[in-house]
A = this chain, B = another copy of it.
Amino acid sequence: MPDNDFRNLWDQLSSLINSNETDQILALLEEINPTDTALAISRLNSDDQQQLLTLLQPEKAAELIEDISEAQAVELIESLPQNQAAAILSELDSDHIADLLGELDEAKAEAIIEQMPQEEAEEAREFLQYPADTAGGLMISEYLDYRSFQTIQDVLDDLQANRDEYKTYNVQYIYITDEENHLEGVLRVRDLLFPPRSTELSRLMIGSPYMINVNASLEDLRNFFEEHNLFGAPVVDETMHLLGVVLPEAVEEAKRKRSVRQFLGVSGIVGGEEFRSMPLLSRSGRRLSWLSLNIVLNIIAASVIALYQDTLSAVIALAVFLPMVSDMSGCSGNQAVAVSMRELSLGLIRPTELARVLLKEASLGIINGLTLGLLLGCVAYFWKGNPYLGLVVGGALALNTVVAVTLGGLIPLISKRLKLDPALISSPLLTTVTDMCGFFFVLSFASALLGKLTF
């Protein structure tokens, strides 16, 4: 959609909302794709957003909620009256409800749940208890289950009777449970095609099917779906009660969200995603919270320079190279951080394998350190015509690169072992240490060779 059309769309939506033209709003939303919908809604002011959801039927409002990003949806849900929020949430998939309620504070979530119909409320409470990146947090309750004594005809009758409700179900598989909801077996819908319709499911089902424990981690789920080429997996508790079904696309989506968090984390966007439609002060405050830690670390690092002011006064040219040495090493170190985080997330390195990373990164650090040190050393030498300046600057960069690369490789492993999020702490920690070491190497080498540098 060209930009002008888009601007028109947004204005149009806003004026339709203000004149309460529900039908025209529906017609307009029908026309545009989910990305444009999300964009248009994010640009409405919050009164218009609330008014929009109020104008629509809960079912239509729920469709809108599914189109926009999770952070936006949570904001919107929070701004609505509880009964309206409850009505809209009740129309969502079970894992969606839990995702959104999980982002609200507990009292607010509970207040909304209390306004939901009995059945949905119980389900929401049940789903909320599972951590987000586990089988419990990713499963849906929309699946088909029958008893083993039922026949193919029984299944067909049920499918026919409830075709509207089942429309969006994952119906590759049918699960067989006993009267206490223990998982007994599974069969593919395709298996119903061939036998006579009076056949009991017990004769068709695969007993002791593959299943996933409700506490299984994202890593376990990934392994499961890589190992078994399935279109869904039943989720059970310790005593084999069937609780839900996890789909492979839910696992992929959770993995994707994790790498987005990682990307935002290393860039200093922490405590949830930021969108420019959020209020200015809350955006500013969240960014500052991370920056203020950084300023403290920066002061610590720069204090090394303060200790060597005399050396620096004597050879002022060094001031040019201080930021270069620390920046360059920081970059080298961040490369090693990224490789470690990637290998960790793929399971190609274990957090205990410090020796392996040390060896691999130190040897790479020596090669890259020597190369970069030689390069920068030559620049320094030719600029001032003093070989000792080249030696000081190049030597400092070479040594600091080894430190930065080795440390960068190790920090994610160590923070993983300490159960800290490597995305959040690796970069600030690394930068501080490489800054300190970089300043120290340049200035202490210069102090040692001071006679050769001043003439």
CB of A267 closer than 8 Å to a CB of B: yes
Task: Place the interface of chain A in its size category.
Answer: 35 or more
Contact B372–A291 (Cβ < 8 Å): yes
A227 at the interface (CB under 8 A from B): yes
The answer for the CA separation of A342 and B266 in the assembled complex, in Å, is 13
Verify B38–A331 contact, CB threshold 8 A. Answer: no
* B-contact bits for A354-374, CB 8 A (1 contact / 0 none): 001100100110011001100
Contacts of A268 in B (CB 8 A): 331, 334-335, 338
- Nearest neighbor of A332 in chain B, beta-carbon distance: B291
Say yes or no for A33: interface residue by CB 8 A criterion.
Answer: yes
Q: How many copies does the complex hold?
A: 2
Residue of B with least CB distance to A274: B339
Q: Is the CB of B299 within 8 A of A324?
A: yes
A6, A34, A192, A222: most-surrounded residue (chain B CB, <10 A): A34
With contacts A171-B172, A347-B39 known, is A360 near B276, CB below 8 A? yes
Task: Please give me the residue from chain B that is nearest to A364 by CB atom.
Answer: B284
Query: If the complex has contacts A35-B222, A267-B266, A269-B339, are A328 and B379 also in contact, measured as CB distance less than 8 A?
Result: no
A343 within 8 A of B: yes
User: Which applies to chain A's interface (DSSP): helix, strand, loop or mixed?
Assistant: helix
Binary per-residue interface labels of chain A (263-280) against chain B in the complex, 1 for a CB within 8 Å, 0 otherwise: 110111100011111001
Measured in the bound complex, the distance between the Cα atoms of B172 and A128 in whole Å is 30
The contact string, 1 if C-beta is below 8 Å from chain B, for chain A 286-298, is: 0110111011001
The 5 closest A-B pairs by CB, nearest first: A267-B338, A252-B252, A256-B256, A35-B347, A34-B226
User: B-contacting residues of A (Cβ < 8 Å)?
Assistant: 3, 6, 33-36, 38-39, 42, 66-67, 69, 156, 159-160, 168, 170-172, 188-190, 192-194, 219, 222-223, 226-227, 229, 231, 247-249, 252-253, 255-256, 259-260, 262-264, 266-269, 273-277, 280-281, 283-284, 287-288, 290-292, 294-295, 298-299, 301-303, 305-306, 309, 312-313, 316-317, 319-324, 326-328, 331-332, 334-335, 337-339, 341-343, 346-350, 352-353, 356-357, 360, 363-364, 367-368, 371-372, 375-376, 379, 431, 435, 439
